[in-house]
Amino acid sequence: MDIVLASQEYDLRLALELLLREQPGAYVVGTASSTQGLLGLIQSACPDLVLLDWDLPGRPSIEVLAEVSSADCRPKIIVLGKDPEARPVALAAGADAFVVKGEPPEQLLIAFRQVSPEP
């Protein structure tokens, strides 16, 4: 599963990459620190999964979700957000899962397994 990590926070991107390296078949194929970079990566890399920081600089995440949802190669999207109240907004906008930043890593892994294709 090819994955793109999208967060302005370098430490978060690094932590996510280290966590996902432990998952069989998971490959981080790119990182983005802005919505413009993310949309370019999705077009060029056509990943299976995007981990999207809800507070990614650039366009509002709702717009990004709408654009990604209509892309030719539509990846699964897990949104990472600080505010649990953003969950229903993100899911209604097209996210496949929502994980609150600061929750134990196991929560992200549960969401990862839920959106991953069966082997």
Asked if the structure places residue 1 within a domain, the reply is no
Strands 2-6 and 27-32 come out as: parallel
Asked if the structure places residue 97 within a domain, the reply is yes
In this predicted structure, what is the pLDDT of residue 118? Answer: 62
In this predicted structure, what is the pLDDT of residue 116? Answer: 85
* E strand map for 1-119: 2-6, 27-32, 49-53, 76-81, 97-100
Bridge partner residues of 30 (DSSP): 4
In this predicted structure, what is the pLDDT of residue 72? Answer: 80
The SS3 of residue 30 is strand
Is residue 117 predicted with pLDDT exceeding 80?
Answer: no
Asked if the structure places residue 72 within a domain, the reply is yes
Asked if the structure places residue 41 within a domain, the reply is no
* 33-41 own/partner pairs: CB under 8 Å, 24+ apart: 33/6, 33/7, 33/8, 33/57, 34/8, 34/58, 35/6, 35/59, 35/61, 35/64, 37/6, 38/4, 38/6, 38/64, 39/64, 39/67, 39/68, 41/4, 41/6
Share of the chain above pLDDT 70, in %: 98
Question: What's the structural domain count of the chain?
Answer: 1
pLDDT in tens, 9-43: 999 999 999 999 899 999 999 999 999 999 999 99
Q: Residues 50, 37: contact at Cβ < 8 Å? A: no
- Model confidence at 68, pLDDT cuts 50, 70, 90, reads confident
Asked if the structure places residue 118 within a domain, the reply is no
Asked if the structure places residue 70 within a domain, the reply is yes
One-letter amino acid for residue 22 of the chain? E
Asked if the structure places residue 8 within a domain, the reply is no
Asked if the structure places residue 71 within a domain, the reply is yes
Is residue 119 predicted with pLDDT exceeding 60?
Answer: no
Share of the chain above pLDDT 90, in %: 85
Identify the domain containing residue 80 by its residue range: 61-105
